[in-house]
Amino acid sequence: EASGLETEGNGYAPQSDFYKVEAVVRPWRLSHVASALIKMGIRGVTVYDVRGFGAQGGARERYAGSEFTEDSFVQKVKLEIVVSQDQVEAVVETVIDHARTGEIGDGKVFISPVADVVRVRTGERGLKAERMAGGRAEILGIVDS
């Protein structure tokens, strides 16, 4: 019986062709993370300025003065990266490797299934919409059927 929660190979439930990797990281790590993503062939990324609190609470960032806030939320950035299932682990690894300082407040990554992708310009759906020119699949020589 397909509950939709069975895992079959990749270890994620529910199974999906695409996943969204959402990463909340320190603003001053963003360019470092982004250049690493570009280097590995990630071409589509959405970034938001956000504020939040975790174990770090409202403790002020100890690093750049521009990141200080006067209220109880700490300024962070959120990256949203939709990729095919086979690219999720590599993306997560790259993000954490380049966002990490080892101090409280480094951030967190959330992974969730994405039902479909639509390219506005062409109306393409699915893998055709998710693949990007010069993207990771192309770099790795993965040919889509």
Least gap, CB of 136 to ligand ATP (angstroms): 10
Handedness of CA 5, 11, 17, 18 (dihedral sign): positive
Identified binder of ligand ATP from the candidate list 17, 28, 67, 80, rule CB under 6 A? 80
List, in order, residues 6 or more apart from 143 with CB less than 8 Å away. Answer: none
Nearest to 16 by CA among 109, 97, 117: 117
Name residue, tokens 């002020």: 60
Regarding 132 and contact with ligand GLN (CB under 6 A), the answer is: yes
Asked if 124 is part of the footprint of ligand ATP (rule: CB under 6 A), the reply reads no
- Interface residue with ligand ATP among 60, 78, 98, 119 (CB under 6 A) is 119
33 interacts with ligand GLN by CB under 6 A: no
81 touches ligand GLN (CB under 6 A): yes
